[in-house]
Every structure is written in structure tokens, then in C-alpha cells.
Structure 1
Amino acid sequence: MTRSFVAEMNISHADLPLTPTIRTLEDVDLTAESQPLRSSDRAGPIMFYSVSNCSFPAFESALEDDHTVDDWDVTMEFSDRRAYQIYLSSAAKFTTPEIADLGLRVLSIRNTDRGWHLRLHAPDRERLGDYWQFCREEGIRWDLVKLYSTGPKAQSIYDDAEIPLTDRQREVARTAARMGYYEPEGASAAAVADELGISQSTLSTHLRRIMAKVFRHLFDG
């Protein structure tokens, strides 16, 4: 069996489908049951979601104020769960077309408290790196949760594992993450450098070396 990889990651951006609704409701459970489907009479695509662990009137009220949603229908209804057909607006931002173009396969999509948790199957780690780069260019936060190989010698490659950073590099990485440097609306390089008491050029050097170690650990070999 050819060795391939499964990655679990969290992605977040205010324009990803239903993200405003997710951020409005606490504890709602959403699972995407389809990939985006195009409709001849709609500007945006259609997706199907399974919804549970929430007040359905509250969920539908949140949809009313969600700029990524044009309309919806309830397609199935149970005591504790409903299936919704969601008509997404042209303002919704998608990463699934890029996922398909890169030859990655979606295994599951469910919500987190701020966005979406994806499980993707990849024929090699380089394509996951390409997807990370795409998200970065689009201003989408991308946090790897777990990476493991499949095949005869399946093994965990990354599971919040220790990456060989120096104590100073770890301090820089934690400070940058805490201040939201990697988020589109987070702290600037100048603010992070000031917090650490270093120059922006020194910060840039630290971050380049940190990311080089992270990507060697995750995507080389």
C-alpha cells in the first residue's frame, strides 16, 4: 500500500460559510454533509449541514444575520437534530475548490468554536504545505492539529508534538501566537517585537527559523 497522509486542522475566517452563525451560538454542532453544489438560479452554491445541540429557532435567527447565507430549508427533522439545505451567498469564502485542485480529499468537516475542523487525505505532505500557503495568502487562519501517515507502517507524525525549538524560539512563537500575529486582524510585527524587547528584523529572523523547523518537521521526508 502506498504511503499517504491524513491531516486534521482548524481553519477560521469571518467569511467562511456559516462562521458568523458559529461564532454567535455556543456549543452548536455542525457537520457538512456535502461539498458545495452549484445551482442555476442562485448566485452562490448550496450545501447541506447536519445541526444539533442547539435551539433551532436560535440557529435560524443567527442565519438571518449571517452574511454568508442567502436562504435555507429544513430537509429532515428529528427530536435532537435537523438537516438544513443552506443557500450560501456570493460573499462566502471557500477553500474546497483549492482542496480539490491540489488532489486532496475531504474526509470530514465539522465546526469548532471559531470556524471549521477539517480532516483531509493527502497523497503527500507537500500538497498539505501548498494548502497551508493558499490559506495564508487568503488571510485564513490555519492551525494543524494532527498529521499521521497511512499504509503498512501508519504512524503519528504530528499530534501537538514537540518540535525542536530552542527556548528562545519557543518564547517568540508563543508570544506571537498569544498576540494574534498569525491572524489577519492580530498584532503587528512591530507590536510583537516591542513585547519581546527585540527589533523587527530580529523578530523576522526568529520567525523564519521557527517556520523552517516546523515545516521540516511536518512536510519533509
Structure 2
Amino acid sequence: MGQRFIAELVVSHDDLPLTPTVRDVSEATIAVESQPLSYPERPGPIIFYSVSDTDFSAFESLLETDHTVAEWEVAMEFTDYRIYQIYVSSNAKFTTPEIADLGLQVLSIRNTDRGWEFRLLAPNRERLGDYWQYCCEEGIQFHLEKLYSTGSQTGPATGDGLEAALTDRQREVARTAARMGYFEPDGADAATVADELEISPSTLSTHLRRIMAKVLRHTFDD
């Protein structure tokens, strides 16, 4: 088996399912127990969550005002935790379909004080770069925490650090995107940055994926 990667990352956006509730119960332990399931007769996709270490009455009160929740019910109840069946509203934003389309595998999803922590299995760094690019385009904050490699190791990027690993054009693209706030939720969008660089949005996307792949290689090669 060739080299693959396990990435631990945190994504955050107000419209990710259950995010408003999660932010108000930071002491709780919440884990996603299923990928979204769709049924024609239901108000929205269904996700099962296990919840512990919280006041369940307070948690359920928050569900009532969460704009990402259409309906909810307790699927299973135990002494110290519950399984909730959440019907996600049309206002919610999902990233798991994009994850699947990129060939990434979800190992786990749980809450943190900053959003949702994903553990993903990736065939290469480039696919992680594609997901990072998608999050940037959707205004989703993306923080890569750790990256583990499996299988045979590859050599480090050549040169004296990341600056040397990037081409002159890649450095120009990265600096322009950063200067225009492309990596920030309220910054310039891809079309505006591409126009500034006098390239197409698709060419910008290609540059950014390659830049991200080199950043990952340089930062997490070991």
C-alpha cells in the first residue's frame, strides 16, 4: 500500500449543522455517529449525534432555536449519554459531500470549542489541498492541526524552506491572495483575486491547490 495521510483539522462556519448549539454547550462532548441520510418524506437530511457531559434539558432548549435544525428527537437514552436524531434544515451547509467527492474518508467528527474536528483519511496531500480550497471558496474556516503519514515515506521538499519550494509565480499568487484577504471569510473572492492576477478562476484554483500541497509537504513531511 502506498503512502496515505490521516489529517486532524477543525472547520468552522455558522451554518454547519448543529454549530449554533455546539457553541453554547462548549463543555459537552458531541460526536457525529452517521453521515447525512435522506428520506423523501422527512423535512431534511438526518444525522445521528451522541451527546454526553451536558445538561440535556439545556441542550434540547438550544436545539429549538438552532437555525440548522428542522426537527429533533431522542433516539436512544442511557444513564450518561443520549443519541439524538437531528433533521437538518435547508439553512445548513454541508462539507461531507465534497469530502466524499474528493475521495477522502471520514474517520470521525466531534465538537471542539472552535467548531467541528474532522479526522480524515486522504490518498495524498493534493486531495487535502482540494478540500482546503473548497472551504476557502465557501467561507468556511479551515485549521489543519496534525497530519500523519502511513506507508512508505517520501523525501522532503528541496530547498531552504517553503519559500524555496514555491516557484516565483506561486509566491506571487500566495502573497496576492493573502493581501486581498482571500483566506478570510470576509475577504476577496476567487474571481476578484484571479482578476488582480490576470488569470482565470480555474487557473487560480490550480495554483492554490499546488501551493497547499507544498505547504503540507514542507510543514508535515515527517
| Bucket of the pairwise TM-score, normalised by the shorter protein | 0.7 to 0.9
Matches within 5 A, 1:130-141: 130-141=130-141
Query: Who is 1:71 aligned against?
Result: 71
Partner of 1:184: 185
**1:11 counterpart SS class:** strand
TM-aligned CA deviation for residue 214 of structure 1: 6.2
TM-score normalised to structure 2 length: 0.73
Q: Tell me, in whole angstroms, the C-alpha distance in 2 between the residues paired with 1:68 and 1:91.
A: 6
Distance, in Å, in 2 between the alignment partners of 1:44 and 1:127 is 29
Secondary structure, counterpart of 2:215 in structure 1: helix
Percentage of pairs with the same residue:
60
Q: 2:8 is aligned with what amino acid? A: E
The CA deviation at 1:111 is 0.6
Distance 1:37 1:212 in 2: 34
Q: Measured at CA, do residues 212 and 97 of structure 1 come closer, stay the same or move farther in structure 2, by a change above 3 Å?
A: closer
Distance (whole Å) between structure 1 residues aligned to residue 51 and residue 182 of structure 2: 33
Which AA in structure 1 matches 2:90? S
Note the 1:10-159 alignment, pairs <5 A.
Answer: 10-152=10-152
Shift of 1:144: 0.1
Shift of 1:215: 4.4
Provide the C-alpha distance between the structure 1 equivalents of 2:127 and 2:85, rounded to a whole number of angstroms.
31
State the TM-score, normalizing by the size of structure 1: 0.74
Amino acid at match of 1:116: W
Distance in 2 between the 1:2 and 1:80 partners? 42
CA RMSD of superposed structures (Å) = 3.2
Contact 2:129 2:210 in 1 (8 A): no
Question: Among residues 189, 213, 216, which one is paired with 2:214 in the alignment?
Answer: 216
CA distance in 2 between counterparts of 1:73 and 1:109 reads: 20
Please state whether the residue corresponding to 2:144 is helix, strand or coil.
strand
Q: Name structure 1 gaps, 5 residues minimum.
A: 158-162, 166-172, 190-210
Identify which range, 73-82 or 53-62, moves more after superposition. 73-82
Q: How far is the alpha carbon of 1:153 from its aligned partner?
A: 5.0
Is the Cα–Cα contact under 8 Å of residues 136 and 182 in structure 2 kept in the other structure? no
User: 1:184 is matched by which residue type in structure 2?
Assistant: P
- How far apart in 1 are the matches of 2:34 and 2:69? 16
In structure 2, do the counterparts of structure 1 residues 23 and 181 end up closer, same or farther at CA, with 3 Å as the change threshold?
farther
Classify the secondary structure of the residue corresponding to 2:35: coil
Measure how far apart 1:182 and its partner are.
4.2
How many residues are treated as equivalent by the alignment? 186
CA-CA distance at 1:216 after TM superposition:
1.6
